[in-house]
Chain A
Amino acid sequence: MTAQTDVAAQMAIELRGIDKRFGPVHANKYIDLKVEQGTIHGIVGENGAGKSTLMSIIYGFYEADEGDILIDGQVTKISDSKIAIASGIGMVHQHFMLIQNMTALENVVLGAERGIMLNDSMKHAREVLERLSKEYSLEVPLDTPVEQLSVGLQQRIEILKALYRGAKILILDEPTGVLTPQETEHLFKVLASLKEQGTTVIMITHKLQEIMAATDNVSVMRRGEMVAHVKTSETSREQLAELMVGRKVLLRVEKGEAAPKDALLEVSNLSWTAPDGVLKLDDVNLNVRAGEIVGIAGVSGNGQSELLDVLSGIKQVQKGEVKVNGHVIDKSHPLTPSEVRAIKVGHIPEDRHRMGLVNSFAADEAFILGYHRLPQYNGKVFSLRNEITKDCAEKMEKWDVRPQDPNLKTANFSGGNQQKLVIAREMEQDPDVLLVGQPTRGVDIGAIESIHNRIIDMRDAGKAVLLVSVELEEIMSLADRILVMFDGKVVGEVPASVANEQILGLMMANIVPDEVKALQKEAQA
């Protein structure tokens, strides 16, 4: 940072008024950004804040609708990745762009060959890589298929790929999401040495302590907008958390005091490992009592989806135990999703398109998904279509699903009405335990209020509600107790009365503030 004192710093990259829409979604709203040469620049923001879209625009994967990109002060039109690469931009995507059954060497050479024959390219690449990996401590086995390497090593290959192509600006999208703490530490050393050599690094993340540890400057994005640019040395995690989440107007939800009774859902020592070996749930303990809403906050991808899947029977319990309404589910007593429904567990899935609905089905068919084998909908052989339609029509009226047409294709309802259909389906079966994932994702404001009220009604009717949401305001306005998940673990618990954006924001970044620690100690004592 010494160069800054004498002249205005050189900008490696500058964005002016970058604007991008996907249909009705306004992903980037007139973004301005300046990244100084030879610095590490962090970009933080919640999920869906538009960070990845912005980086994809810089890398030429999408084209901006409006605005200019300046590289080294020159306006550059980046219409595809080839131009980005030629302009000295390298990108390490969140999901690595590697060919799994090829070696590191082949992956690096791909697209940057020196001629028709590979031999020469390979020899050259090997020499360069050996030099680069020594210089930046990026050692990787060059001749092992990538699929046999750890994610940490795969990421090194991605960085080497960019450097081999002569990247002067390196963009990393959520680079630490899949790394162990040791690997993360190493990565930051690598980035620091890259910076020393004059490379500019842009790092996208939602982890605040990493921003503090690794960056020089930081920009904050919120809901498609760039809301702040600050020097890392002049800010704090608390300030960043606040900027990131924003002081949002709380949606008012009328609700009285919770009157919790016995625990209906008890989860003890639950762990779950994905087929690719990643530990998604790490010794989770929680309980939900009748008559309360327990919220699970966290940046998405920290195990919330897996938790819902395991609790609803879609994924099998591998370790630990789930107790629902007195029934024990564990490795030796697995239950299928229909069996879980039979013990009165409802499940509003996080993603209605992937799970909750079948787009080509008529509304009444979607309305019985998961309950399609219930006796009230079936005769001996044939489904009781008239009953189903009638039932659906009644519920549509009760839940104000519009248009009130049970024969309309599910795809033709608006997001809010689709969601109401799913919620009506699950709540009308009168479950004792209700699992709710992202209840208002992609739902218009009008519908949000009524959905929230229904969830409160369930609580007041003595049901146990587990609510997963990445919307902090939703969690804060609905939940009675809030658990925060990070990296498959429950970081801590906060009563709703104490919770605010700042506390939750910190916990979402795996930092437990002192006041919460004190509360937890108190609770233990």
Chain B
Amino acid sequence: MSQPRVPGWIYVVVIPLVNILLASLAAGLLFWYLDINPLQAVATMAYGAFGDSYGLGYTLYYTTSFIFTGLAVAVAFHCGLFNIGGEGQAYIGALGVGIVCLTLGGKIPLLLLLPISIIAAGAFGALWALIPAWLQAYRGSHIVITTIMFNFIASALMGYLLIEVFKPPGSMSVESAIFPESSWIPKVHDVAALVGLDLQRSPLNLSIVWALLSAVGVYYFVWQTRWGYEIRATGQNSGAAEYAGIHLGKTVVLAMLVSGMLAGFFALNVVQGEAHQIKLSLVNGMGFTGIAVALMGRNHPFGIVLASLLFGFLYQGGGELQFEFGVDPRIIVVLQGLVILFSGALEKMMKHPIERLYLKYFYRPTTTDAAEA
């Protein structure tokens, strides 16, 4: 049965790169149409994103958010589930963080509060994923639709809570009170100042450490534990999982709980680290960006960190484009869409041509192949 072999690196490196190249090409055409020299644009973005500690801070701040939402999508993906509810789960995670910071903030030291807020962020996000997960596992309701619905339910719920519960009396804007300062996650520039390093102010905060730890954690969870093993078996071949005695329903719920938890962590960065209050639509599409990040990072934590950095660069650099070329900063959303289109939706488009090309020009039949045929 086995076909002449195309080596793994073709799939892991060449095809993804070609897809990204196609996305960049399409983006380049758009830039060119918008009277922007694509190369100049890249240079501007690079300077804006990496040129100084201010830009770099912003870039890494966005990166942090994307690591969380990207990991969330990836863990569900490994179980064969498409969690597009990261948006809502992150939003509800903010609720958890908000409750902890508003009730305990100023009363207990940060070192004590931080673990509680981390747990709250994760637990609230996981909880918001639990119902769609359960419905998928035991009632067969399609998780894509239910998570979409839960995004809207989350935003209605948060709207209500902000107006009726969190809005300080007399305030006009729909947002919670500012958290007590002692509950804020320290900014990186403040921490750097302690060791005598002078960095410009930026929203980058210590959540990035937690994000990187989460990435490592996801790696170990997915590839080095029996639960991760069961999640992958279920996602790759549910027949084999059943044969192996893996309980499909429980595995689906577990994967979604972890996924929701990771999405919930998003709130640590954006709410506890930067905004210091709960606001309307604070997730602002970054949950969806997680899909692009996961696709590009091929659902591997290492790839996701790299892809997050790329998207962080795009987000920050995109803002820079506005100053330089007067282009709408949402142009980066186009890039994001192109990445999802070429790396995800059209993933198979280049597969056959590249395979054929490889077999035609680089493939030398070996004796083992001949024996099999």
Measuring CB to CB, which residues of chain A are less than 8 angstroms from any residue of chain B? 23-25, 312-314, 336-341, 347, 349, 354-361, 365, 368-370, 372-373, 377-378, 381-383, 385, 409, 412, 414-415, 442, 444
Contact = CB atoms under 8 A, between A and B. Distances in A.
17 contacts: A349-B243, A355-B243, A356-B240, A356-B243, A357-B240, A358-B233, A361-B233, A365-B229, A369-B233, A370-B243, A370-B244, A372-B229, A372-B230, A377-B226, A378-B226, A381-B225, A382-B224
Given A382-B224, A414-B372, A415-B1, A358 B232 contact: yes
A249 to B, nearest CB: 21
A382 to B, nearest CB: 5
Interface in B198-253: 220, 224-226, 229-230, 232-233, 236-237, 239-240, 242-245, 247
Interface stretch (B2-10, B47-55, B87-95, B107-115): B2-10
A339 B246 CA distance: 11
Q: Which of B232, B236, B240, B242 has the most CB of A within 10 A?
A: B240
A442 B1 contact: yes
A409 B8 contact: yes
A412 to B, nearest CB: 7
Interface residues of B, number: 26
B226 A372 contact: yes
Interface in B1-29: 1-3, 5, 8
Contact of B3 (A23, A368, A442): A23
Nearest to B233: A358
B373 interface: yes
Nearest to B237: A358
A312 B242 CA distance: 11
Contacts of A415: 1-2
B240 A358 contact: yes
A313 B245 contact: yes
**10 pairs of A and B residues whose beta carbons are closest in the complex:** A338-B245, A337-B245, A370-B244, A355-B243, A354-B239, A358-B237, A369-B244, A358-B236, A382-B224, A355-B239
Nearest to A446: B371
B243 A385 contact: no
Q: Interface of chain A, helix or strand or loop or mixed?
A: loop
Given A312-B243, A415-B1, 17 more contacts: A336-B245, A339-B245, A354-B240, A355-B237, A355-B243, A356-B243, A358-B237, A361-B233, A369-B233, A369-B243, A372-B230, A373-B226, A377-B226, A385-B224, A412-B5, A414-B368, A444-B371
Given A25-B1, A372-B230, A378-B226, A347 B243 contact: yes
A505 B373 CA distance: 31
A381 B233 CA distance: 18
A361 B236 contact: yes
Contacts of B3: 23
Interface in B236-276: 236-237, 239-240, 242-245, 247
Given A25-B1, A359-B236, A383 B242 contact: no
A382 B229 CA distance: 11
B245 A341 contact: yes
A357 B236 CA distance: 10
B301 to A, nearest CB: 16
Contact of A444 (B226, B239, B372): B372
Contacts of B373: 24
Given A381-B225, A385-B224, A314 B242 contact: yes
Contacts of B8: 409
Contacts of B245: 313, 336-341, 370
A223 to B, nearest CB: 17
Contacts of A383: 224-226, 229
Q: Which of A372, A378, A381 has the most CB of B within 10 A?
A: A372
Nearest to B372: A414
A184 B201 CA distance: 83
Nearest to A411: B2
A339 B3 CA distance: 38
Nearest to A339: B245
Contacts of A382: 220, 224-225
Interface string B170-187: 000000000000000000
A337 B247 CA distance: 10
B372 A314 contact: no
A390 B229 CA distance: 18
Nearest to B229: A372
B243 A314 contact: yes
Nearest to A415: B1
B92 to A, nearest CB: 27
Interface string B92-107: 0000000000000000
Interface in B51-76: none
Nearest to B247: A336
A338 B250 CA distance: 15
A412 B236 CA distance: 16
A277 B371 CA distance: 45
Contacts of B224: 382-383, 385
B257 to A, nearest CB: 17
Q: Which of A373, A385, A415 has the most CB of B within 10 A?
A: A373
